[in-house]
Amino acid sequence: MTVVTPAFPSKLPNVGTTIFSVMSALANQHQAVNLGQGFPDFGCDPKLVDAVTAAMQAGHNQYPPMPGMPQLREAVASKMQALHGCRYDANSEITITAGATQAILTVILATVHAGDEVIVLDPCYDSYAPNIELAGGTCVRVPLTPGTFRPDFAKIAAAITPQTRLLIVNTPHNPSATIWSADEMRQLEALLAPTNVLLISDEVYEHMVFDGAQHESAARFAGLAARAFIVSSFGKTYHVTGWKVGTVAAPAALMAEFRKVHQFNVFTVNTPMQVGLATYMADPAPYLELSAFYQRKRDLFALGLRDTRFKLLPTTGTYFQCVGISAVTELNESDFCQWLVKEVGVAAIPLSAFYGNGFDQKVIRFCFAKKDETLQAALERLRKL
C-alpha cells in the first residue's frame, strides 16, 4: 500500500511565516537583542499571579460561562464607563476572548459574507487581511498618509461602496505609534453616519498614550459606539501577552452575532485567569499608571537613539518607536533589518511588512517594552552604526 498525504487547495495561499517569527528566529540564532516582536521581557505584577493562583486553589478550574466570568465582564464595563462615559451591559455587551487576535477574527467571521468588502488602513496589523480572506471577504487597503500616518478621509470615503461591510481602525496604532485625535474620530463618525458600515476599533494599546494626551476610544463617540466592536487586551495592559485574554464590547445586537461564532470558535476562555484578572482590576492603578511607565521607557530609549544616525519619528502611543534609516543605509527596510540583526546584533521590524504592497519608506520599528538593561544593551550596539 502506498501511503499518501492528500493535497488540498490552501485557504491562505499567499501566507507564509510572519516577519515576527522570522526576526525572532534570527535574533536567537545571532544572539541579538530582540526589539522586534512586541512583547515585554519583564514580569508582571506578582499580585496578579497570586490572584490567579488563588483562583485555581479556590477551585475555579472548570468551564466558565461562554461569554466570560460575570465579575470580569462587570469590571470591564465599569472601567469603560469610568474612562469613556459609555455604559456597556456586562451581561449582553461584553465578551471575554482568547486574546485580541481571536476577537478580531471572530468579529470578521460573524459579520463578513462572501463578496463583502472590508477596509483596512495600511500599515496595519498582519492578522487583518488573512482574517478577511478566511471569511470570504475582499480586503480593501487604504493607505494612511506616508510619513505622518494620519487618516486620509477622502480616500476612506472613496473606498466605501455598497459592498463595504466593515472598517478596521487601530488607535493607538501599531506599527506607527500614532494616536487618533478626537477631531479625527468625529470625522470618522460623520463619514460613517449615512452608511451601514460596521467598525472594528482595535484598542489593545489603550493605556499607552503619552505626553498628557487622551485615548480617544470609539466608545466616547455615540455614532461610532453604536456600530463598533471595541477590542482590547489584558496581555498588553498587564504584561502577560502569553495569557492570551482579551475583551470585546459592542451593542447587544452586534454582540449576539459575535457570540454565535465565539461559542463555536473557542467557546470560552481560561477560567482561573479570568477570576484572577477580575480580582486584580479592583485596583485601577496598574492601568492608570501604565502610560507613565511606558513614557519613561520611551524617553530613555529615544534619548539613546539621538546618539545614532536614525531619524526618530514621533511616538505618541503604544510601546513602539519608529525610525527613519535613510541616513544610515542604502538598503531597503527588509534587507537592513536582516543586516542589523546579523551584523549589529539588534532585531527590528521593517514597516513594509505591515503594507499589503510592501511599500518601503525607509522606516523600521523597535519595541521598547523591555527592561532598561535590555534597552541600554541595544543602544550600545546601535551607537556603533
User: pLDDT tens for residues 251-263?
Assistant: 999 999 999 999 9
Summarize the confidence of residues 350-373 as an average pLDDT: 97
180: cell is 487618533
Q: Which among 385, 383, 373, 384 is positioned nearest to 33, based on CA atoms?
A: 373
pLDDT at 15: 87
Cβ within 8 Å of residue 304, ≥6 positions away: 375, 376, 379, 382, 383
262: cell is 465565539
Q: Which helix (H) or strand (E) segment is 30 a member of?
A: none
**Which has the higher per-residue pLDDT, 332 or 16?**
332
Summarize the confidence of residues 170-196 as an average pLDDT: 98
pLDDT at 116: 98
For residues 220 and 82, the answer to whether their CB atoms sit within 8 Å is no
Summarize the confidence of residues 84-109 as an average pLDDT: 98
Q: What is the Cα–Cα distance from 31 to 29, expressed in whole angstroms?
A: 6
> Kind of pairing, strands 138-143 and 164-170?
unpaired
Backbone angles phi, psi at 47, to 5 degrees: -65, -30
Cβ within 8 Å of residue 54, ≥6 positions away: 276, 279
Q: Given a cut of 90, is residue 23 above it in pLDDT?
A: no
Q: What is the Cα–Cα distance from 229 to 219, expressed in whole angstroms?
A: 9
The average confidence (pLDDT) of the chain is: 97
Q: Given a cut of 90, is residue 184 above it in pLDDT?
A: yes
Domains of the chain and any CATH numbers: 19-38+288-382 (3.90.1150.10), 46-283 (3.40.640.10)
> Kind of pairing, strands 363-367 and 349-350?
antiparallel
Q: Which helix (H) or strand (E) segment is 266 a member of?
A: none
Question: Longest Cα pair distance anywhere in the chain, in angstroms?
Answer: 70
Q: What is the Cα–Cα distance from 42 to 46, expressed in whole angstroms?
A: 12
Share of the chain above pLDDT 70, in %: 100
Q: Which among 17, 313, 376 is positioned nearest to 146, based on CA atoms?
A: 313
Q: What is the Cα–Cα distance from 368 to 38, expressed in whole angstroms?
A: 8
pLDDT at 21: 84
Summarize the confidence of residues 319-340 as an average pLDDT: 97
pLDDT at 369: 98
Q: Given a cut of 90, is residue 24 above it in pLDDT?
A: no
Q: What is the Cα–Cα distance from 321 to 335, expressed in whole angstroms?
A: 19
376: cell is 541600554
CA distance between the termini of the chain: 60
Q: What is the Cα–Cα distance from 143 to 120, expressed in whole angstroms?
A: 8
Rg (CA), the chain: 21
| Residue found under cell 477590542 | 231
Share of the chain above pLDDT 90, in %: 95
Q: How far is CA 133 from CA 109, 115, 143, 149, 254, in A?
A: 10, 10, 19, 25, 21
User: What is the full DSSP assignment across 152-177?
Assistant: -HHHHHHH--TTEEEEEEESSPTTT-
pTM, entire model: 0.96
Cβ within 8 Å of residue 162, ≥6 positions away: none
For residues 124 and 269, the answer to whether their CB atoms sit within 8 Å is no
Q: Which helix (H) or strand (E) segment is 230 a member of?
A: strand 228-233
